[in-house]
Structure 1
Amino acid sequence: MLIGPYVNGAAVVIGGLLGALAGSKIPHRVKSALPLTFGLCSIGLGINLVIKVQFMPAVVLAIILGAVIGELLYVEKGIGKAASSTRGLVNRFLPAAPGISHDEFTETFVAILVLFCASGTGIFGAMHEGMTGDPSILYIKTVLDFFTAIIFATLLGYAVMAIALPLVIIQVGLALLAVFIIPITTPAMMADFSCTGGLIMIATGLRICNIKLFPVANMLPGLVLVMPFSYLWATLIG
């Protein structure tokens, strides 16, 4: 029985609720500084994943082609529209987050949606539990996500809680697919997958810090491409 995805989703809901309730009591300068700190942490975690790479050319090719596919499919634009709809739906029932524009909300929401739902830790953790029944990796992510949800809910309000839904769906789906995926992967393929996730996390951190607004959602197809590319590179070239 799967446990990790539901615990992780519950942590996002509770953290988002606590952060939204505390948001009005936290000075604006603190709410502005906290996302910068977490953006830095995201960059650090991404670097830690990138250094595990085995076949960087395969990773680069997956990221580039994945970004092209994401741009052609308007992945980020679609997520942005979903974020706006989510904000409008949540605001019907709960107080809106004050002091943040529509564009600022969308930019930040898309970044943290990718951070929560597409991190290497979450994807690998869900696959690991699906294959072994051990939710320990997702428990680690749960602790991080709880505090992350608090931080960003002080800025975005109750809408952060809605991220729990796609997070649970993605992790449960990956856990169920893991029985078929894990046996055909190699350590090199997993390392390159982690590297790709790390590059996306670095781009997400830079975006959260407003250093460079990478279209991180459009890079997500690269996560699907990197394992086949890594296998082909190892087989044909490496």
Structure 2
Amino acid sequence: MLGTAVNILAIIVGVALGLALRKGLPERVINIAMQALGLGVVMIGIEMGLATNNILIVLTSIVAGAVVGELIGIECLLERLGERTYAMLGGKSADSSYGKAFLSATLLFCVGAMAIVGALQSGLEGRHDILYAKSLIDGITAIMLTSTLGPGVLLSVVPVGLYQGGITLLAGWLEPFFVTAIIAEMKATGGLLIIGIGLNLLGFQRIKVGNMLPAILFAMILAAMLHKAGFI
């Protein structure tokens, strides 16, 4: 839960700075900060990817997960869910700046591969590298949102805590059922997704990382099958 706690703290600090900097930060400063974070996120992903004991599991999982996720259209589904939620709860209330700020921030902080993979890492390994990196990104985002939408961004810490904390607790509960070999392949596959997020932050051709989320499930299944067969 430490990673989620730090994430919440980063959002709170970002909101405070956003209120102090109502005119916002220069765009060039935001861009260079995000690029620097992108480099750091890529490094974290590489470190995670090196955990694999069988690169074929990772490659098979990432390709299969990407194909399945693209056919399902996971990113589009998440975007539509966000749009519908916004329309139902805040979209029709143009005067409700708090509602707009809350919904916008919640969607940005919760909908994404980094929140899921980071929370899984916290629960399965007790490490928080991904959520720490996400905290920096969310902190900067909170500054920008607060400077334009107001203090309602602060309310987003509640769903962030419940969402990421819930995934972490569930992963921690399931951890005893996973052997080290299975966790290693899930970690390595998640690392590739994190590299994709880092490349997106750096401004390269956009990678639909959200559509690749099923890869982690494929990695778990393949690793479990090969472990039971005695290959890993």
- Same structural fold, with TM-score higher than 0.5 when normalized by the shorter chain: yes
Identity %: 20
For the pair 1:175 / 2:175, whether they are aligned, the reply is no
For the pair 1:152 / 2:156, whether they are aligned, the reply is no
1:86 is displaced (CA, Å) by: 6.5
CA contact (8 A) 1:200 1:219 kept: yes
CA distance in 2, matches of 1:163, 1:85: 21
CA contact (8 A) 2:66 2:212 kept: yes
CA distance in 2, matches of 1:59, 1:50: 9
When structure 1 is superposed on structure 2, of 50-59 and 14-23 the one drifting more is 14-23
Change (3 A) 1:19 1:222: farther
Task: Give SS of 1:211's match.
Answer: coil
When structure 1 is superposed on structure 2, of 206-215 and 80-89 the one drifting more is 80-89
CA distance in 2, matches of 1:95, 1:184: 41
Q: C-alpha offsets along residues 143-198 of structure 1, whole Å, 9 cap, x if unaligned?
A: 5444322222344556976486256324324413533x322322111111111111
Spell out the pairing of 1:39-54 with structure 2 (5 A cutoff): 39-54=38-53
CA distance in 2, matches of 1:18, 1:113: 24
1:56 is displaced (CA, Å) by: 1.3
Question: Match of 1:124?
Answer: 121
1:44 is displaced (CA, Å) by: 0.7
1:9 is displaced (CA, Å) by: 5.5
Residues paired across the two proteins, number: 216
Question: If the length of structure 1 is used for normalisation, what is the TM-score?
Answer: 0.73
CA distance in 1, matches of 2:110, 2:192: 14
Task: Give SS of 1:59's match.
Answer: helix
CA distance in 2, matches of 1:231, 1:149: 34
Which structure 1 segments of 5+ residues have no match?
Answer: 98-104, 130-136
Question: If the length of structure 2 is used for normalisation, what is the TM-score?
Answer: 0.75
Question: Match of 2:59?
Answer: 60
1:227 is displaced (CA, Å) by: 1.3
Spell out the pairing of 1:29-40 with structure 2 (5 A cutoff): 29-40=28-39
For the pair 1:26 / 2:55, whether they are aligned, the reply is no
CA distance in 2, matches of 1:85, 1:198: 31
CA distance in 1, matches of 2:110, 2:195: 11
Task: Give SS of 2:112's match.
Answer: helix
1:113 is displaced (CA, Å) by: 2.9
Q: C-alpha offsets along residues 99-137 of structure 1, whole Å, 9 cap, x if unaligned?
A: xxxxxx9xx94998322x1234x31212456xxxxxxx4
Question: Match of 2:223?
Answer: 230
Question: Match of 1:165?
Answer: 159
CA distance in 2, matches of 1:51, 1:232: 21
Question: Match of 1:102?
Answer: none
Q: C-alpha offsets along residues 7-60 of structure 1, whole Å, 9 cap, x if unaligned?
A: 245325414423543363311210121111111111010001011111111111
For the pair 1:189 / 2:198, whether they are aligned, the reply is no
When structure 1 is superposed on structure 2, of 46-55 and 60-69 the one drifting more is 60-69
CA distance in 2, matches of 1:215, 1:41: 19
CA distance in 1, matches of 2:81, 2:153: 13
Moved over 6 A (4+): none
Change (3 A) 1:49 1:141: closer
Task: Give SS of 1:25's match.
Answer: coil
Change (3 A) 1:110 1:170: closer
* One-letter identity of the residue aligned with 1:215: K
